[in-house]
Amino acid sequence: MPQRIFTRNVSAPRMLLLLALAVGLMVIDQHTTWLAPARAWMEDVGQELARMAGLVGRAAGWSRTQLAAPATLAAENQQLHAEILVLKGQIQQLAALSAENTQLRALLSAAPRPGQRLLMAQLISVAPDPMRHLIHIDHGSSDGVFVGQAVIDATGLMGQVIEVGEHHAEVLLISDERHAVPVAVAGSGVHAIAEGTGDYHRLRLRHVSPTLDVAMQDLLVTSGLGGRFPPGYPVGRITAIAHERGQAFVEVSVEPAARLDRSRQLLLVFPDAPAAPNAPAAPAAAVPPE
């Protein structure tokens, strides 16, 4: 047998065996739940490692804060105090509006809106595949996190929890191509579905009729239809409306309100039991991290 000089003689049976194993795993993973426990266990291990790696980054951030000049810290502190004051003022107004809303709903004999409780979570890792807009956060079933739970940041809706481990959860961002969220135009109340495009800075509204009352810079909020997302959270603003001749629908582009590509501190939204019709509504309370 002639000796190979430029190519190596590799094991074809082993290759075929591994290919068959991979195909078998894919079939089992897609059509059964047999691998779910093993997968969950491996994901827990992987997320623990990612959390440890995140600790290194957080330690670097802590040392940066500790080493920052006192003057910088004092200025930052002053700015934060001013922001807190403004936010407290806005919350007072919200509480009054919320109470008024509850009274009006009681007059209309409408069911009171359930309140919400928030829990702060930290980002621990990002899915390596750029085609999947998935992130992992540091709270799981031990904190009451559940599949389908809405996740927001300081500016708007981020996505929803799709998988929960004991101490971590996986969040599908609203910009992922597989994600869709029912929205309403704030003001006109027009309903639509906002779909992800695979681009962190663009969502699209599908099947919007040209006669509907939508305009540039309109704010879209979660409509609450379907019961998955609580109503009223900002989803984005309309940035482009394109209507091609002969097409039945217009193509509407939306810029997400949340900072999907930057936010590291997120909030998990817990729906509370509906308040009594005549009870004053309490504003959502933010639970500080441990």
Residues engaged in binding other proteins (CB under 8 A) = 4-8, 10-11, 14-15, 18-19, 21-26, 28-30, 35, 39, 42-43, 46, 49-50, 53-54, 57, 125-135, 163, 170, 177, 198-201, 260-262
Residue 18 beta carbon to other proteins: minimum distance, rounded to whole angstroms: 5
Residue 193 beta carbon to other proteins: minimum distance, rounded to whole angstroms: 18
Q: Which is nearer to other proteins, 130 or 246 (CB)?
A: 130
Q: Which is nearer to other proteins, 14 or 245 (CB)?
A: 14
Q: Which is nearer to other proteins, 42 or 84 (CB)?
A: 42
Residue 137 neighbours by CB under 8 Å, 6+ apart? 121, 122, 123, 124, 151, 168, 169, 171, 266, 268
What per-residue string of b and e applies to 106-131 under the rule 16 or more CB within 10 Å gives b? eeeeeebbebbbebbbebbbeeeeee
Residue 160 beta carbon to other proteins: minimum distance, rounded to whole angstroms: 14
Residue 155 beta carbon to other proteins: minimum distance, rounded to whole angstroms: 15
Q: Which two tokens stand for residue 154?
A: 């300081």
Q: Which is nearer to other proteins, 25 or 68 (CB)?
A: 25
Q: Which is nearer to other proteins, 203 or 214 (CB)?
A: 203
> 197 phi and psi, to 5 degrees?
-120, -5
Cα–Cα distance measured from residue 32 to residue 38, given in angstroms and rounded to the nearest whole number: 13
Residue type, 57: G
Cα–Cα distance measured from residue 282 to residue 284, given in angstroms and rounded to the nearest whole number: 6
Residue 151 beta carbon to other proteins: minimum distance, rounded to whole angstroms: 14
Q: Which is nearer to other proteins, 98 or 175 (CB)?
A: 175
Q: Which two tokens stand for residue 196?
A: 């992800």
Cα–Cα distance measured from residue 69 to residue 225, given in angstroms and rounded to the nearest whole number: 49
Residue 223 beta carbon to other proteins: minimum distance, rounded to whole angstroms: 26
Residue 128 beta carbon to other proteins: minimum distance, rounded to whole angstroms: 4
Residue type, 49: L
Q: Report angle CA 121, 289, 173 to the nearest 5 degrees.
A: 10
Q: Which is nearer to other proteins, 171 or 214 (CB)?
A: 171
Cα–Cα distance measured from residue 171 to residue 148, given in angstroms and rounded to the nearest whole number: 9
